Amino acid sequence: MAKISKRMKAVYEGLDRNKQYALEEAVGILTKAKKVNFDESIEISLNLGIDPRHADQQVRGACALPHGTGKTVRVAVFARGDKADEAKAAGADFVGAEDLMEQVQGGMMDFDRVIASPDMMAIVGRLGKVLGPRGLMPNPKLGTVTPNVADAVKAAKAGEVQFRAEKAGIVHAGIGKLSFSADQLAENVRAFVGAIQTAKPSGAKGTFIQKVSISSTMGPGIKLDLASAQPQ
């Protein structure tokens, strides 16, 4: 059994690992547990009552967090002409067509989100083996294959997060930093939970959201009372 450090022992003292905490209380516990010298990320994890192996039970989408993620998102856009100019004006970090494809094929991966105008998918498709395994392949369902490339860039830069249920029916995402205020973190959590509820697939049966928890990079995982994490 792995040894627990003195710091983690102190963090877990007084924490009921089985209790479902109200959202504001859970955020307060994470804030008090901060002991490291960097701004820790806050992650949310949801266990869903689905089997993603079935086509009608897949959960995938995007959520615009009201206060962003606290991270700088680097965006690459495949577009030509006016669309390329619009993407640059919206703040895209890399914009191009065949030239950008060649850069990516050459190993350039200095981006966190890829957006493409529909006419670029023949080019982007040739990068499937590179972008696919990293979860970066543009997808119309996520709004990353769109004629409105400028809006997609702005959304990504503003802190939109993408989500997808894994094989076990678990969805997780970064929803902020410990430097955020308690209200900001709570609002981001409720926005994300609301987006998951909206993405409920037609094939889901029984209780859809079964468990919600939040954690910081170096802190404990805390189970949430689902009612307190619902959009208000």
Q: Which two tokens stand for residue 229?
A: 């994490």
Please give the CATH architecture assigned to the domain spanning 17-69+160-229: 2-Layer Sandwich (3.30)
Instruction: For residue 44, list its beta bridge partners.
Output: 173, 214
CA 71 remoteness from chain centre: 11
Max Cα separation, the chain?
A: 60
pLDDT interval class at 32 (50, 70, 90): confident
Tell the CATH superfamily of the 75-157 domain.
Ribosomal protein L1/L10, domain II (3.40.50.790)
Domain boundaries, the chain: 17-69+160-229, 75-157
* Stated pTM of the model: 0.84
Task: Encode 95-132: b = buried (16+ Cβ within 10 Å), e = exposed.
Answer: bbbeebbeebeeeeeebebbbbbeebeebbeebeeebe
Chain mean pLDDT for the chain: 90
Who's near 101: CB < 8 A, 6+ residues apart? Answer: 78, 123, 124, 126, 127
Segment 115-129, tens digit of pLDDT: 999 999 999 999 999
Report yes or no: 71 and 174 within 8 Å, Cβ to Cβ.
yes
pLDDT at 37: 72
Question: What would the pLDDT profile of 54-95 be if each residue is shown by its tens digit?
Answer: 989 999 999 999 999 998 999 999 999 999 999 999 999 999
